[in-house]
Structure 1
Amino acid sequence: MPQQHAEQQPRRNVHQDIALSLDPPQQTLVLQVAFERLIALAQVRRGVTGVRAGNERRGYVQQVALGQPAQRGHHHLFYPANLPRQAAPASARPGARGRGDASSGEGLRGRDTYFLYRTCRVKILRRVRRTSMGDLERYIVEEWAEDFRAGRLPRREFLRRTVLMAGGTALAVPILDSLGIPTTLEEVAAAAEGPAPSVAQATGVTVPPDDPSLSAEMVTFASGDIAVQAYLAHPRGAGPHPAVVVIHENRGLLEHFKDISRRLAKLGYAALAVDLVSHEGGTPRYMNDLAQVSAILGRTPPERMVAMLNAGVGFLQGLPVVRRDRIGAIGFCFGGGMTWRLATANPDLRAAAPFYGPNPPLADVPKIKAAILAVYGELDTRINAGIPAVREAMQQARVAHEIVIYPGANHAFFNDTVERYNAAAARAAWQRVTAWFQRYLRSA
């Protein structure tokens, strides 16, 4: 009598690490990694004694990625004769595909082909195709890669951050491969298990929070079912004042951006710095590992963040101290990109100053009603590559705009808490921004 197959163990979630989707050219790599995980699980759970690998495995995965059935000769697994057979479509019944003696259990049976095809197709490919890797996700990962190549970010921390963005090690490998950074699943897994580095956060304070001429406090307002956290600063005394939405970089609402709000308040504006990770508890929750903030921002649909910013505009417009028809926005790095997107989505915005941010969808540029002051650093070649396209789009849409590129300045040159801070460029840019806001927000 054949030995009875042991009671099947609860099925593992084989796509537990598949939390991030990639562009179509990278889906084959995703499936290849995932198929290797399936092979490992099959070896443990079903007593597989051998695997034929090589180029045939890649061919199979490519066919699965295209939604085609597996062809003869791919993925020869050697199963014991007592492996249970489950019902499969006629095209995938034992003997329909594969090689080997069916009575001995040697070779890849039709049902086995179907099992692997079905698992890859249903459990993984559907997850991959649910969304594509967003441009803001890619923007953040490419910024990390740039910092790694420039020696500003250790390799282990770069790998750890990539795992955070991917949601697991399985998809971190193809992401890294797409960036031209060779690695192994083992190296990535080891980096993922490491602790976050201890980094002292510079305060970046130029205007004290207790300045007697200002009112400054944390506030909350609703954006759908999200209680959005934000920092509000405005002059004490008579109003109403023009207002500016301040949008942080990809590390969240740090003290530097609260300080920018107070700088604007000292000039007579009400300024609201919105925390775009409010839906995940807010920036203070992640102060021991700000890479988690970056990962949350990358994975959050841009439309959701724009909705929070629009709610911030509405919140300002409802304040007695604010002149509701004089609203502007300023943002930096990731926040520069969100400033662009807010300008395309809110016709009430009269002026916007995106600093070295990624372009918005160019098809949305004609929706911009605000006067745009776009600020860049000469050495920030990755971001500057997008200038010609957005300039042409604004010219064709007749958007009032000015583009300024500061010589010798790099990405993040305005942030006085990081090493790329350029004091001369930052002073010149601030003067230009304040003159821009004076022209479009304070003048009649």
Structure 2
Amino acid sequence: MNNCSDNDSLAKINIPQEAFDWYDEYAHGDIDRRTFLKRLATLGIAGLTLSTLSGVLIPDYALAEQVSFNDPDIKASYLEFAAPEGHGKGRGYLVVPAGVSAENPAPAVLVAHENRGLNPYIEDVARRLAKAGFVAFAPDALYPLGGYPGNDDDGRAMQKTLERNKIEGDFAGAARMLKAHPLTTEKLGMVGFCFGGYLTNQMAAMLPDIIDAAAPFYGTPPQNPVADIKAPLQLHFAGLDKRVNGYWPEYEAALKAAKTDYTAFFYPDVNHGFHNDSTARYDEKSAELAWSRTLEFFKQHLS
């Protein structure tokens, strides 16, 4: 169950759009925490302290658990995998629906995190997928550095030290492992958020014979040629996300030129990260609509 009362209380706080825009800059490393907080302090919102305002913008992962790791319908564990194109070895969070076995496999979905490692929100997304009947695997790009450190600031700083092509190599290794896993069918989907949205686009182009369906959330276009994509795409964008949306016209033109099977959804009046239910950027209506579309998309193309 979603922690609706806490998220409702966040939604009732009238936060100016500038604060969300500054948080986006901070979350993507364009400004540091000190600058972010200094800017927030200039807003002077009546009835809100700087601590309260920053507190609702910065993720509180206690709010993000929709499916417990103890849920009897799933089984969660951590799994290492070979990543010869990346750091040699990776590790991630594997969640399997109850009743799935080598004799009764299920389609799989690879989950790609944001720019700060495998945090509790992304682990919960993997559990949500397993609850819906998919074998889900969420790699941690920070594994070569010891794994997600328990807070986003350190995680973000750690991930910035890693070469992007090495991270992509790690996720490629994870995709190949999951495709061949004895508990999975031959069908593999991928979903990712923010940097993970980029990775989802990139893996679809980089591994066209591995990825069978891809659902990037507010992700930038792939570095590999768009024409290489064979999988159907379902793309989700936040209406207020000027940074990512600025890439879309050129990306869409390339998809059309390549005759790629794609559907793009824009959710009006919501911010980048609207699916992440641990911050005030979360928009319940848009998040639930986007997620229901994603599950139906995977059911359609991975069954």
TM range (shorter): 0.7 to 0.9
| Residue from 56, 61, 65 that aligns with 1:202 | 61
Aligned to 1:413: 274
Unaligned runs of 5+ in 1: 1-145, 164-180, 182-196
1:263 aligns with 2:128: yes
Q: What is the distance in 2 between the residues matched to 1:151 and 1:370?
A: 35
After superposition, what is the alpha-carbon deviation per residue over 1:113-166, rounded to whole angstroms, capped at 9, x for unaligned?
xxxxxxxxxxxxxxxxxxxxxxxxxxxxxxxxx9778454899x9754699xxx
Deviation at 1:340, TM superposition (A): 0.8
- TM-score calculated relative to the size of structure 1: 0.54
Q: Is the 8 A contact 2:89 2:170 kept in 1?
A: no
1:316 aligns with 2:178: yes
Aligned to 2:75: 215
Unaligned runs of 5+ in 2: 1-16, 40-53
Deviation at 1:297, TM superposition (A): 2.6
Deviation at 1:247, TM superposition (A): 0.5
Q: Is the 8 A contact 2:24 2:272 kept in 1?
A: no
Deviation at 1:306, TM superposition (A): 1.4
| Residue from 434, 437, 441 that aligns with 2:295 | 434
Q: Report the 3-state secondary structure (helix = DSSP H, G, I; strand = E; otherwise coil) of the residue aligned with 1:349.
A: coil
Aligned to 2:51: none
Deviation at 1:200, TM superposition (A): 7.1
Aligned to 1:304: 166
| Residue from 399, 417, 430 that aligns with 2:260 | 399
Structure with the greater relative contact order (CA < 8 A, sep ≥ 6): 1 or 2? Answer: 2
The alpha-carbon distance between structure 1 residues 149 and 426, as it changes in their structure 2 partners (threshold 3 A), is closer
- TM-score calculated relative to the size of structure 2: 0.78
1:274 aligns with 2:133: no
Q: Report the 3-state secondary structure (helix = DSSP H, G, I; strand = E; otherwise coil) of the residue aligned with 2:61.
A: coil
Aligned to 2:245: 384
1:237 aligns with 2:237: no
Q: Is the 8 A contact 1:148 1:154 kept in 2?
A: no
| Residue from 265, 270, 283 that aligns with 1:422 | 283
Q: What is the distance in 2 between the residues matched to 1:158 and 1:343?
A: 27
| Residue from 247, 254, 259 that aligns with 2:112 | 247
Deviation at 1:321, TM superposition (A): 1.1
Q: Is the 8 A contact 2:192 2:216 kept in 1?
A: yes
1:353 aligns with 2:212: no
Aligned to 2:230: 369
1:333 aligns with 2:194: yes
The alpha-carbon distance between structure 1 residues 336 and 212, as it changes in their structure 2 partners (threshold 3 A), is same
Q: Is the 8 A contact 1:148 1:158 kept in 2?
A: no
Moved over 6 A (4+): 146-149, 197-200
The alpha-carbon distance between structure 1 residues 221 and 368, as it changes in their structure 2 partners (threshold 3 A), is same
Deviation at 1:300, TM superposition (A): 2.4
Q: Is the 8 A contact 1:331 1:355 kept in 2?
A: yes
Q: What is the distance in 2 between the residues matched to 1:372 and 1:281?
A: 33
Matched positions, count: 259
Deviation at 1:299, TM superposition (A): 3.8
Deviation at 1:292, TM superposition (A): 3.1
**Which one-letter code corresponds to 1:250 in the other structure?**
N
Aligned to 1:287: 150
Q: What is the distance in 2 between the residues matched to 1:153 and 1:399?
A: 30
Deviation at 1:310, TM superposition (A): 1.2
Q: What is the distance in 2 between the residues matched to 1:349 and 1:430?
A: 19
Q: What is the distance in 2 between the residues matched to 1:258 and 1:336?
A: 16
Identity of aligned residues (%): 32
Higher-Rg structure is 1
The alpha-carbon distance between structure 1 residues 150 and 309, as it changes in their structure 2 partners (threshold 3 A), is closer
Greater per-residue strand proportion: 2
Q: What is the distance in 1 between the residues matched to 2:238 and 2:31?
A: 27
Q: Is the 8 A contact 1:414 1:425 kept in 2?
A: yes
The alpha-carbon distance between structure 1 residues 151 and 344, as it changes in their structure 2 partners (threshold 3 A), is closer
Q: What is the distance in 1 between the residues matched to 2:128 and 2:199?
A: 21
**Which one-letter code corresponds to 1:209 in the other structure?**
F
| Residue from 227, 252, 256 that aligns with 2:89 | 227
